[in-house]
Amino acid sequence: MNEVSLPAARPDGDGPLDGVEPAAGVEPSGGAVPPPRVPRQAGAGPDAAAPRGPGATELLGRAVDAFTGRVLGRHQAAVVRIGFGLVWLAHLLREWPNRRVLYGDRSPWSMELAERLLGDDGAFTVLTWFGGRFWFELVYHLAVLAALGVLLGWRTRASTVLFLVTVLSLQNRDVFLGDGGDNVVHLMAVYLVFTRCAEVWSLDARRARSGRGGRAGAVLWAVLGAVLAVCQFGGFSGTNLSWTGRTFPHLGWAPLFWGLWAVAGLWWVLGRLRPDGEPRAVLDALATMVHNCAMLVIAVEVVLIYATAGWYKVQGSRWQDGTALYYPLHLDYFTPWPGLSALVGSALLPVFLISYGTVMVQVAFPFTLLNRRVKNVLLAVMMLEHAGIAVVLGLPVFSLAMIAADAVFLPTGALLRLAAWASRLAARASRIRTGRIRRRPAP
């Protein structure tokens, strides 16, 4: 194993935190440069260790090393995974009583209407493969399990693929149902598949640390392969699992699913036969490269969301005259608490400041990424604003999704502190539970 060269745990820590990987990988002995554009790996030691003025060739070499060999933003990836797993799980559970009307056999957007639209745009959904209630219920509850798997990081690559399939299937069943939150979940469900988002704070990471392999992976792989084969060749999946697409870029979904399945199998076989061999190392480097590209896509996506929102607002007369905030507070569909909304929109100055502040923050955000401290302040402001939107406008799912997406830019140090705090809290909770039997824990 390659891990022997690194300390297994932080010597100065509180002991191994559950699910928190020591920051070993963050502090490469070679003093690598911070990765470009992706959140900086804080929690690292003093940067003074880095040699001054490396040549261009060396910089390029380091960039290549980082790109091929380092899982950039692993904590951020984990937080995004946990966030979106949680958001979609919460949505599915909240809508559980309404599921048949929203996505199922009782939907006003009848299967017939859906099929006519899908025939037009070719969006992916498995729900049209069979009519009736049983298939729908199966998919919906599979979606719940997939969200749970993503949240916990259980067999994460498989869970994220299932997450992708179920999110797209439900949302594309009726595309006139979603709002911005659904849109973000939809995009992230695709991007997450390509990340190594379970390196920390996941059941997978815990299992890897304990060294127990477990048979579940191989069984899951075989089962998923069989299911995929049945769907592919069963003659009921229509054009959903085609190899090519009608329009540019002419790619269907089959190459992705089969490709992931084949790579997972190859990965396992090589791990068994030649765990230290070069082919496995090449696969590992490829997976890391894909992850790094996916993280870049997620980061740019978040920037684009804010940038477009901001740049288009600049052109709006209501944002210019400083009253924009007032209007959503008086829309019937977005005022679950009319008294609160009226209060927030009651005076000139706060309405003006929040309206102008929102535009400024959104327009400025992409550029603040160049400065760590300013970026963090703006990030906190935006998260708070979304928390406010969750309550005042009655859009908790949308707001949570945006906060989860924002998390890709959170500094690693803050994430580690949060994790340490959460783990202390959990430890205390379990002590309180067992405390009735043993009042004083052994030192």
Partner 1 sequence: MTETTDRPARGRAWSKPAQLVLGLAGAALIGVTGLFLAAVFLHVAPANSLSRQYRDEIDGVVYPEFEQNWKLFAPNPLQQNVSVDAQVRTVAPGGATTAREWTGLTARDIAAIRGNPAPSHVDQNLLRRAWDFYDGSHNPQDETPVGSRGKLAEQYLKRIALQRIGREADGERVLEIRFRVTTATVPAPSWSGETAPPAPKVRELPWWPVADEDYRGLLG
- Using CB under 8 A, which residues numbered 27 to 46 contact partner 1? 28, 30
Q: Which range touches partner 1 (CB under 8 A), out of 310-318, 363-371, 404-412, 420-428?
A: 310-318
Looking at the Cβ atoms of 255 and 316, the one nearer to partner 1 is 316
- Separation of alpha carbons 291 and 68, rounded Å: 10
Answer whether 28's CB lies under 8 Å from 432's CB: no
Task: Identify the burial level of 165 via C-beta atoms within 10 angstroms of its C-beta, where 0-12 means exposed, 13-18 middle and 19 or more buried.
Answer: buried
Chosen residue from 328, 357, 366, 413 binding partner 1 by CB under 8 A: 328
- Using CB under 8 A, which residues numbered 160 to 219 contact partner 1? 168, 172, 176-180, 183, 186-187, 190, 196, 198-199, 204, 207-208, 217
Q: Work out how close the CB of 439 gets to partner 1 at its nearest, in angstroms, rounded to a whole number.
A: 39
Task: Identify the burial level of 119 via C-beta atoms within 10 angstroms of its C-beta, where 0-12 means exposed, 13-18 middle and 19 or more buried.
Answer: exposed
Place of tokens 């949060």: 418
Q: Which range touches partner 1 (CB under 8 A), out of 287-295, 379-387, 409-417, 433-441?
A: 287-295
Give the DSSP H/E element, type plus range, for residue 219.
helix 216-233
Looking at the Cβ atoms of 272 and 428, the one nearer to partner 1 is 272
Decide if residue 229 touches partner 1 (CB under 8 A). Answer: no
- For residue 211, the SS3 value is coil
- Separation of alpha carbons 25 and 22, rounded Å: 8
Residue 249: is the preceding peptide bond cis (ω within 30°)?
Answer: yes
- Using CB under 8 A, which residues numbered 338 to 377 contact partner 1? 338, 345, 348, 351
Q: Work out how close the CB of 58 gets to partner 1 at its nearest, in angstroms, rounded to a whole number.
A: 15
Chosen residue from 323, 368, 381, 423 binding partner 1 by CB under 8 A: 323
How many chain residues are in contact with partner 1, going by CB under 8 A?
112
> What binding mask, one character per residue, do residues 232-261 give for partner 1 by CB under 8 A, x or -?
-------------x-xxx------------
Looking at the Cβ atoms of 274 and 424, the one nearer to partner 1 is 274
Q: What is the CA radius of gyration of the chain?
A: 24
Looking at the Cβ atoms of 100 and 372, the one nearer to partner 1 is 100
Chosen residue from 326, 341, 375, 419 binding partner 1 by CB under 8 A: 326
- Using CB under 8 A, which residues numbered 55 to 94 contact partner 1? 64-65, 67-71, 94
**DSSP code at position 328:** G
- Separation of alpha carbons 122 and 117, rounded Å: 8
- Using CB under 8 A, which residues numbered 405 to 434 contact partner 1? none
Q: Work out how close the CB of 234 gets to partner 1 at its nearest, in angstroms, rounded to a whole number.
A: 23
Residue type at 362 in one-letter notation: Q
Backbone region of residue 322 per phi and psi (left: phi > 0; alpha: psi in -120 to 50; beta: other values): left
Cα angle: 139, vertex 141, 146; to 5 degrees: 90
- Using CB under 8 A, which residues numbered 128 to 167 contact partner 1? 155-157
